[in-house]
C-alpha cells in the first residue's frame, strides 16, 4: 500500500490525498509536524534529501517527492492525465506555472499569515511582493479560464488538482477572489467532482 | 519547423536550444529582448499569457510555454526521457525541484547581478535570502550526485539538462562551486556529451 508522508494543512499534500481518493486507491498517511522540524530529521532526509512533504513511498524504500511529480506518476493511464502528447505537455505547463508563479506567492503568504509566524520587516516586504505576484498569477488563470471549463483539453485533470489546492484557500493568504468570476466558477466545478474531499480530510 | 521564442542569455531558453540541438531537430529562433518588454506586448501575451520565454510554437498558432514542459514534450520517445513510469516521475521530481528550489534563487541572483539591475535595499535583502536558499539547493544536488553520475537512472536525461542550465553559470550569481566536487564532475560529464552547445550559441 502507498504510504504518504504528509501534513494535513499543506495544499501540496492535499493534491496527493485528493487524487488518491478520486482514484479510490488506498493509502496510509503519516502526519509529520513540519512546524516542529519533523521533515528535517536525519531519518526523514534519508527518504527525501530536500526535507519536504509530500513524499510518497511507492514501494518499500522507494520514495517519490514533489507533489506534482507524484500527481503525474499516479495519473498516468487514468482519465486525470491526457493520453495525448501535447495534452500531457500542457498539463505539465500548468503544473510548472503552479510551482513557479502561484505556490511561492499564494501558499507562502497563507503559511506565514496562518501560522502566527512573526512578521518581521523583511517578511512584510516579501509579503507585499508576494501579494503582487500572486495576483499576477491569478490574472493569468482568470484569462485562461474565461474561455474554458478546465485548464487542459476541456476536462478535469491533475493540472486542475495542482492549481485548486492553494487557490481555494487563497483568502487565508489575504487574496480576494472577488474580481475573478471565471476562477470562482472553476473552483465550484472542481469541488463538485464525484469523490471530491476537502483539504481538512486526512 | 519549430519556432522558439527565446532570449540568448536565458538558461531556461538554453535548455530548449540544447535539447533541440542534441536531437538534431531544426528550429527557428526568435530573439526577444526581455529587458525592453518584448514579452509583455499584447502580441506576445496572445502567444503566452504568462509573458515569458521560452515559448515553443510547435505548429502554426499552437504555443507551449514553460521550459521544463517543453523539454518533456520534445523528449518523449527519445533517450532523454525514461520509458519507465517511475523514471519519468523521477525526472519530473528533479525538474520541479529545479523550478522551485534552484531557479528562483540561482537564476534570479544571476539576472539581478548580471544586468546592472539597481540593487535596492529590498533587493539586497532578497539576494541574501536567495544566496542561502540557492546553496541549500546545491547541497541537495551534491548529496544526490555523490553516488550517481546523472540525476535519474544512471543516464543523461532532461533532468540533467534542466539543472545544468543555471548551475554551470551559478558563479554569475555569486555562487561558488568550490566545495561541490560531485556537481563539478557532473557539469563536466554533461558538457562532454556529443552535440553539446554552450549557452551563448543561438
ipTM of the complex: 0.97
Identify the band that residue A56 occupies on the pLDDT scale cut at 50, 70 and 90.
very high
Q: Quick check: A100 and B97 CB within 8 A?
A: no
For residue range A12-38, list pLDDT tens digits in order.
999 999 999 999 999 999 999 999 999
Does A179 score more than 90 pLDDT?
A: yes
Quick one: which of B11, B69, B7, B18 has its CA closest to B40? B7
Whole-model pTM?
0.97
Q: Quick check: A86 and B126 CB within 8 A?
A: no
For residue range B33-49, list pLDDT tens digits in order.
999 999 999 999 999 99
Query: How many Å apart are CA A18 and CA A22, to the nearest integer?
Result: 6
Query: How many Å apart are CA A26 and CA A113, to the nearest integer?
Result: 33
| Residue of higher predicted confidence among A5 and B120 | A5
Q: Quick check: B72 and A89 CB within 8 A?
A: yes
Contacts of B100 in chain A (CB under 8 A): 99-100, 103-104
pLDDT for position A119: 85
pLDDT for position B109: 96
Is the peptide bond prior to B157 cis by the omega test (within 30 degrees of 0)? Answer: no
pLDDT for position B72: 98
Q: Quick check: B68 and A96 CB within 8 A?
A: yes
pLDDT for position B36: 93
pLDDT for position B137: 98
pLDDT for position A121: 83
Does A117 score more than 90 pLDDT?
A: no
Answer whether B35 touches A (CB < 8 Å): no
Instruction: DSSP letter for A24, please.
Output: T
pLDDT for position A7: 97
Q: How many A/B residue pairs have CB atoms within 8 Å?
A: 95
Contacts of B151 in chain A (CB under 8 A): none
Contacts of A83 (CB under 8 A, 6+ apart): none
Chain B 100-129, residues with CB within 8 Å of chain A CB atoms? 100-101, 103-104, 122, 125-126, 129
Distance between first and last Cα of chain A = 16
Q: Quick check: A72 and B92 CB within 8 A?
A: yes
For residue range B93-136, list pLDDT tens digits in order.
999 999 999 999 999 999 999 877 788 888 888 899 999 999 99
pLDDT for position A27: 98
CA B139 to chain centre: 18
pLDDT for position A138: 98
- Helix/strand number for chain B, H first, E second: 8, 4
Contacts of A58 in chain B (CB under 8 A): 86
pLDDT for position A202: 81
pLDDT for position B97: 98
Contacts of B99 in chain A (CB under 8 A): 96, 99-100
What CATH number was assigned to the domain covering residues B2-75?
Answer: 3.40.30.10
Residue with cell 536550444: B17
CA A8 to chain centre: 12
Contacts of B30 (CB under 8 A, 6+ apart): B3, B4, B5, B6
* Mutual angle of helices A121-145 and A181-191, in 10-degree steps: 80
Closest-CA residue of A relative to B57 is A86
The residue of B16, B75, B100 whose CB has the most chain A CBs within 10 angstroms, and thus the best one to mutate to test that interface, is B100
CATH entry, B85-191, from 1.20.140.70, 1.20.1050.10, 1.10.540.10, 2.30.30.100: 1.20.1050.10
Pull the grid cell for residue A15.
493534491
Does B8 score more than 90 pLDDT?
A: yes
Instruction: Say whether B101 sits in a helix, a strand or coil.
Output: helix
Pull the grid cell for residue A179.
474580481
Rg (CA), chain B: 17
**HSE-CB of B100 using CA atoms within 13 angstroms:** 26
Does A123 score more than 90 pLDDT?
A: no
| pLDDT mean across residues, chain B | 96
* Segment holding A163, helix H or strand E: helix A158-167
Instruction: Say whether A4 sits in a helix, a strand or coil.
Output: strand
Identify the band that residue A70 occupies on the pLDDT scale cut at 50, 70 and 90.
very high
Domain ranges in chain B?
A: 2-75, 85-191
Instruction: Say whether A27 sits in a helix, a strand or coil.
Output: strand
Instruction: Say whether B55 sits in a helix, a strand or coil.
Output: strand
Q: Quick check: A140 and B50 CB within 8 A?
A: yes
Does A115 score more than 90 pLDDT?
A: no
What is the least distance, in Å, from the CA of B186 to any CA of chain A? 18
What is the least distance, in Å, from the CA of A199 to any CA of chain B? 22
Identify the band that residue B51 occupies on the pLDDT scale cut at 50, 70 and 90.
very high
pLDDT for position A196: 98
Amino acid at each position: 500500500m502507498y504510504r504518504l508522508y504528509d501534513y494535513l494543512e499543506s495544499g501540496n499534500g492535499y493534491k496527493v490525498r485528493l487524487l488518491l481518493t478520486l482514484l479510490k486507491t488506498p493509502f496510509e498517511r503519516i502526519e509529520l509536524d513540519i512546524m516542529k522540524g519533523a521533515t528535517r530529521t536525519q531519518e526523514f532526509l534519508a527518504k527525501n534529501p530536500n526535507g519536504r512533504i509530500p513524499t510518497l513511498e511507492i514501494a518499500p524504500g522507494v520514495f517519490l517527492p514533489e507533489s506534482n511529480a507524484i500527481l503525474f506518476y499516479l495519473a498516468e493511464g487514468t482519465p486525470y492525465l491526457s493520453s495525448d502528447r501535447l495534452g500531457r505537455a500542457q498539463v505539465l505547463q500548468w503544473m510548472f506555472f503552479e510551482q513557479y508563479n502561484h505556490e511561492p506567492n499564494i501558499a507562502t503568504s497563507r503559511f506565514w499569515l496562518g501560522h502566527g509566524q512573526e512578521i518581521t520587516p523583511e517578511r512584510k516586504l516579501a509579503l507585499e511582493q508576494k501579494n503582487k505576484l500572486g495576483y499576477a498569477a491569478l490574472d493569468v488563470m482568470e484569462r485562461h479560464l474565461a474561455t474554458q471549463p478546465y485548464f487542459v483539453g476541456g476536462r478535469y485533470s491533475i493540472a486542475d488538482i495542482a492549481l485548486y489546492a492553494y487557490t481555494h484557500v487563497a483568502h487565508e493568504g489575504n487574496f480576494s477572489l472577488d474580481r475573478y468570476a471565471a476562477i470562482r466558477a472553476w473552483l465550484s466545478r472542481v469541488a463538485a467532482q464525484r469523490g471530491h474531499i476537502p483539504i481538512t480530510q486526512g
